[in-house]
Structure 1
Amino acid sequence: MKYIIYAITTLFFLASCSKDNDETGGGSGGGGEIGGVTDVTPVTSDLTVSLVTDKACYKPGETVSFTADALPAGAKIRYRTQNKVVSEQAAVGTSWTWTAPATDFIGYLADVYRTKDDGTEVILGTIAVDVSSDWIRFPRYGFVATFDASKTESKIQEEMAFLNRCHINGVQFQDWHNKHHWPLGGMREQLDAVYKDIANRDIYTQSVKDYIRIQHTYGMKSMFYNLCFGALDDAANDGVKEEWYIFKGAGHTDKDAHTLPDSWKSNIYLLDPSNTEWQAYIAQRNDDVYANLDFDGYQIDQLGNRGDRYDYKGNKVNLPKSYTSFIDAMKQRHPEKRLVMNAVSSYGASQIAGTGKVDFLYNEVWGDEADFTDLYTILKANHQYGNQTLKTVFAAYMNYEKSSGDFNMPGVLLTDAVMFALGGSHLELGGDHMLCSEYFPNTRLRMSDALQTAIVRYYDFMTAYQNLLRDGGEEEKVTLNCTDASKNLSLNVWPPKKSSITAFAKRVNGRQVVHLLNFLSANSLSWRDLDGSMPEPRLVTKVPLKLEVVGKVSKVWVATPDAHAGASQELAFEQKDGAITFTLPSLKYWTMIVIE
């Protein structure tokens, strides 16, 4: 509730920014050979075309339906995976279809462009397409948290259309339930039309149903939230036994509890997740939920490290081990339903992953994991815990100490850039607001129009290039130099440094991928941007770079969510004496360089 890093080989990155005329790098590949590409198509952008698709993800061979607000004469539509064109067509009308290719778990970018008389390509608009039969490979998680009378069918459709535009393929339903120990509003045989949540807010059963139904039309998973061990103060009346609770001491006199405001229904009292009678009880309550609401699974929550806690008999409770037992029991009771469990401040992460029964790993990060380097560490650990297969979603609350106004766009985008470049994703987007605290209904901060536009670009980018960002690979040694001292740039290896450009490099399916992250103007190295003061980074353009490489290079291309709406741009380069030289077009927050 409140409250990982890749199994990566050690990165060794030598970066400098010295004047380099005739010197060449010392790499072993291509020694003495001079070659390269100098004739590439110039790319500019005039982002005037808005695009949508009818789903957030598609099965191989499924029909993808596109709609554009307008298409100028002479426009063409191109479909690319990474930098490879898989098909192209002339633009005719504002609606069209495309058949998703047969290969599963691939990201594509559809771009609308035109060609000027001088041969320059002008990107008019782009949108990503995820061809994945299951969200497990590339989870993009969103949330909904308000289900009152204002959530009409048309309002819900509007909200889910935005999440669909961001390719959100799973939605967590927060604070939707009646009681933690009795989540359904009403009885299995007779639902309440309206009931109260833990904060005594109105919850309309029809709104919950409409959210689920509309999400399913977009191909999204709908996951209900609940603790693994929560009960309210009236739980005995509903059949919860004293012997199931956990206690602060061995004498079973002081129940462990999560304290809530007096105006709310109750404090939340904690039970032993490994108690088999409690497991059977809550599994039956979940069965009541599934019988009435078409949820796809259970987002399991916990409360982090509670310290020493005891069961009714005075035995010390091993909470991380109990999570394993609880997950196993939930999967056995409903094997067809999906499970995700929160690892609050990484507590219990290895045990959760070790069950082999969760769809991905979910880390709620707090002040004890506040730095960008902590995100790296978490991803690395999760990669090991999940046997190199489970992806990571961060529940990370931006601008946590800012009391009102807009989210700070530079803080949000820099954090997303780092998370996405490292291979993670970010739970942040709700149907009607962005997440600013662990209380998901909190709407004290707003997304500006500029941030909404940028967020769409970032989620397009994460989706289109998911096979380079989130589909394995090994971190590797690279040597990169800026060859123009007049640029006054400092480059460094990961971890990031203030007043510097930080590089993070991986080799993915034979390609060398170098992420450049812009910390030139950063006032801290914390992803949280607590007070919303992270400044906008200094834009750098036309940066001459030299990168040591092994073997002959056939292509160099770049892409960034900050320019050309994420469309890739092939670069001219020269290869000589084990290195390539090329000019980086631009870096705002994040630019990805790919060497093939």
Structure 2
Amino acid sequence: MKRNRLLIIGQLAILIFLGSCNSDDEVLEMPVEEGTDQTYREVLDFTKDKARYNPGEEVTFSVNGTHQNTMVRYKYLGEVVAEENLSSHTWTWTPPSEDFRGYMVELVKTTGGEETVLGTVGVDVSSDWTRFPRYGFLSEFGNISAGERVDVLNNLKDYHINGLQYYDWHSKHHIPLPTDDSGNPADSWADLFNREIYFETVEGYVESAKERNMASMFYNLLFGAWHPEEGDGFEEEWLIFNDRTHNSVNKHGLGDLGDILITDPSNEEWQNYIFDEAEVVYSNLDFAGWHLDQLGNRGTVYDYNGYQVALPEAYQDFLIELNEEFPDKKMVLNAVDQFGQKKILNSPVDFAYTEVWSRYQYQDLVQVIKENYEYSDGELNTVLAAYMNYNSQEGNFNTPSVLMADAVIFAFGGAHLELGEHMLSSEYFPNTKLSMTSELSEKLKEYYDFQVAYQNLLRDGGTFNMPAVSTIGEDVTVNNWPPVFSQTAAVGKQLSDKQVVHLLNFDGLSTLQWRDDSKIQTAPKVKEGFELVIETAQVPSKVWFASPDVDGGASHELEFTSTGNKVTVQVPYLEYWSMIVLEN
């Protein structure tokens, strides 16, 4: 079948002479092998200066070269809102004033009437980062130079990471920021695992992140005490116990390092104590809020007086009081394997966060996202701490497993905590046992661009549905979610004036377990130019296509035919994830 002329999927390798914006362009035609990964790679290194923008804030773009006959095209959900000639290595653009919008910015070159996408970047215009959280982490706070910190943050900025969890930055859990007798913060201290932490490094990260509109959240348990000593002001009566007679303290053991003693989150004196310590943190470091952690189901536990403590209710009580104490600060509480999540999301937290353990299949990840949306009455978006290739101890992350997991999470409106100074492979964030290949790094940027550009379809309301879909021909088999081996799963979502159909390709995969502990996941089989039939209540006025796997996520309008209540379109390309949008 004839391909969409706008989609240039690797047929052209562009040889660019970057020295002058007036230089002639040379195009080299390359052979194409049908049905294989025609991986899109940006010809121009296209970046912007911040992770997020407030309404009315100017965006500064940069490229590493220019091309004749190249336009900068600014789009909102497939519609061009502005365009201009690319004539400089840097330029600025002020997006429309509407809040909470995502834009796709495309660099499009025209040669002989054909358009080629040379680069894309997403732009998030949101006054509150927690509306569409894209969460990353920092985990090293030793003697790190300002230049090294800037490099880390600039890399995360290019993935649009708008919030950062500062993992194990603190000293003791019950005294996160140590101070001297005058109340000044210590220059350095040891963390839980005796790593040296420098105040200057933490402070430097917080300030540099703020310049890039990246919020900094300090990590700490909501109910932990680490080696309390005389003079700390800590009381045994704040702890929870495994028995009614307070003989057996509930602890989280860390081997030779000792135990974290667990406190009762609903104990008013404990709340006052730890809130005072949080005030010390906020007075000395400009953190945007507190990333609170728990330790999962602790079993049946009791307070000092022998009364049973229902931890989910205790979490809710703590969070309500915390919000009263610091109404201008953000907060989020990790629901370890969903423990206590319903009560947590009925508290004034700013987004949903789940550390996934016992949910093994792709459909289980989706179920967590849906649960969180339901528990929060459709108000909060989800971040999943889902650790890829968890049991693998060396080498690289498996690219197909990471991309397939992100495709599923993003298509259902979630975000994936996975990026920091390195990619995350375990619950101990400083662990660097696995590395990203350059291929994975490049492809993930396209996925994050896509998540930002189309956030108003992916993460801004709507109702998931199951549109009747089918294909013409035998090359592609499409069924509704959940996934089935050797098939493509269709995921529908209805918004006020749009029907979205996500296509998630499970044909060619070796496992439906997202974590892929042994790195056995294989890449899906690429599909091109197949006809998709969608039943719809009314004839659409427009149909368009976009995929993070091709053209950097740039949108392309599709021709379609309508017969009765069925619309037929030709899907140009499907690798991991493609999106079709029918506009009413």
TM-score w.r.t. the length of structure 1 is 0.90
Map 1:32-181 → 2, pairs under 5 A: 42-44=6-8, 47-117=42-112, 119-149=113-143, 151-181=144-174
* Bigger shift: residues 55-64 or 315-324: 55-64
Tell me by how many angstroms 1:410 deviates.
0.4
- 1:244, 1:275 within 8 Å by CA — same for their partners in 2? yes
Tell me by how many angstroms 1:334 deviates.
1.4
Task: Note the alpha carbon deviations across 1:1-54, whole angstroms, 9 max, x for none.
Answer: xxxxxxxxxxxxxxxxxxxxxxxxxxxxxxxxxxxxx99862326631111111
Give me the whole-angstrom Cα distance separating, in 1, the residues matched to 2:76 and 2:255: 51
2:542 corresponds to: 555
For the residue of structure 2 that corresponds to 1:538, the secondary structure is coil
Task: Note the alpha carbon deviations across 1:353-382, whole angstroms, 9 max, x for none.
Answer: 111x1110101110x212212222222221
Distance verdict in 2 for CA 1:235–1:415, change over 3 Å: farther
- 2:470, 2:477 within 8 Å by CA — same for their partners in 1? no
- 1:401 lines up with 2:388 in the alignment: no
For the residue of structure 2 that corresponds to 1:115, the secondary structure is strand
1:252 corresponds to: 246
Tell me by how many angstroms 1:311 deviates.
0.7
Give me the whole-angstrom Cα distance separating, in 2, the residues matched to 1:211 and 1:176: 11
- 1:107, 1:463 within 8 Å by CA — same for their partners in 2? yes
- 1:290 lines up with 2:282 in the alignment: yes
- Which of 460, 477, 481 pairs up with 1:494? 481
1:17 corresponds to: none
Instruction: For 1:347, give the aligned amino acid.
Output: F
Q: 4+ residue runs of structure 1 moved beyond 6 angstroms?
A: none
Distance verdict in 2 for CA 1:236–1:525, change over 3 Å: farther
1:438 corresponds to: 427
For the residue of structure 1 that corresponds to 2:450, the secondary structure is helix
Q: Which runs of 5+ in 2 are unaligned?
A: 15-41
TM-score w.r.t. the length of structure 2 is 0.92
Q: Which runs of 5+ in 1 are unaligned?
A: 1-37
2:25 corresponds to: none
Instruction: For 1:96, give the aligned amino acid.
Output: W
1:321 corresponds to: 313
Tell me by how many angstroms 1:236 deviates.
4.6
For the residue of structure 2 that corresponds to 1:377, the secondary structure is helix
Instruction: For 1:141, give the aligned amino acid.
Output: Y
Give me the whole-angstrom Cα distance separating, in 2, the residues matched to 1:237 and 1:308: 31
2:574 corresponds to: 587
Instruction: For 1:526, give the aligned amino acid.
Output: Q
1:240 corresponds to: 234
1:226 corresponds to: 220
Map 1:194-209 → 2, pairs under 5 A: 194-209=188-203
- Which of 415, 423, 426 pairs up with 2:416? 426
- 1:40, 1:570 within 8 Å by CA — same for their partners in 2? no
Instruction: For 1:447, give the aligned amino acid.
Output: M
Task: Note the alpha carbon deviations across 1:326-362, whole angstroms, 9 max, x for none.
Answer: 111211111111111111111111111111x111010
2:336 corresponds to: 344
1:417 corresponds to: 407
Instruction: For 1:481, give the aligned amino acid.
Output: S
Give me the whole-angstrom Cα distance separating, in 2, the residues matched to 1:236 and 1:44: 69
Give me the whole-angstrom Cα distance separating, in 1, the residues matched to 2:550 and 2:466: 27
Aligned-residue sequence identity (percent) comes to 43
Give me the whole-angstrom Cα distance separating, in 2, the residues matched to 1:173 and 1:211: 10
- 2:8, 2:117 within 8 Å by CA — same for their partners in 1? yes
- Which of 256, 265, 268 pairs up with 1:273? 265
Give me the whole-angstrom Cα distance separating, in 1, the residues matched to 2:550 and 2:407: 14
- 2:479, 2:490 within 8 Å by CA — same for their partners in 1? yes
Distance verdict in 2 for CA 1:223–1:524, change over 3 Å: same
- Which of 513, 520, 525 pairs up with 1:533? 520
Instruction: For 1:127, give the aligned amino acid.
Output: V
- 1:39, 1:572 within 8 Å by CA — same for their partners in 2? no
Tell me by how many angstroms 1:241 deviates.
0.4
- 2:172, 2:225 within 8 Å by CA — same for their partners in 1? yes
- 1:453 lines up with 2:445 in the alignment: no
- Which of 171, 174, 187 pairs up with 1:193? 187
* Bigger shift: residues 522-531 or 92-101: 522-531
Task: Note the alpha carbon deviations across 1:484-512, whole angstroms, 9 max, x for none.
Answer: 12x2x322211111111111111123111
- Which of 513, 517, 528 pairs up with 2:504? 517
Give me the whole-angstrom Cα distance separating, in 2, the residues matched to 1:65 and 1:233: 48
Task: Note the alpha carbon deviations across 1:205-233, whole angstroms, 9 max, x for none.
Answer: 10000110110000011000000111012
For the residue of structure 2 that corresponds to 1:440, the secondary structure is coil
For the residue of structure 2 that corresponds to 1:133, the secondary structure is coil
How many residues of Structure 1 are paired with residues of Structure 2 in the alignment?
Answer: 550
- 1:541, 1:584 within 8 Å by CA — same for their partners in 2? yes
Task: Note the alpha carbon deviations across 1:154-211, whole angstroms, 9 max, x for none.
Answer: 0010010011101111000000000100000334722221210000001011000011
- 2:62, 2:91 within 8 Å by CA — same for their partners in 1? yes
Give me the whole-angstrom Cα distance separating, in 1, the residues matched to 2:553 and 2:202: 35
Give me the whole-angstrom Cα distance separating, in 1, the residues matched to 2:562 and 2:263: 64
1:358 corresponds to: 349
Give me the whole-angstrom Cα distance separating, in 2, the residues matched to 1:392 and 1:561: 20
Tell me by how many angstroms 1:533 deviates.
1.2
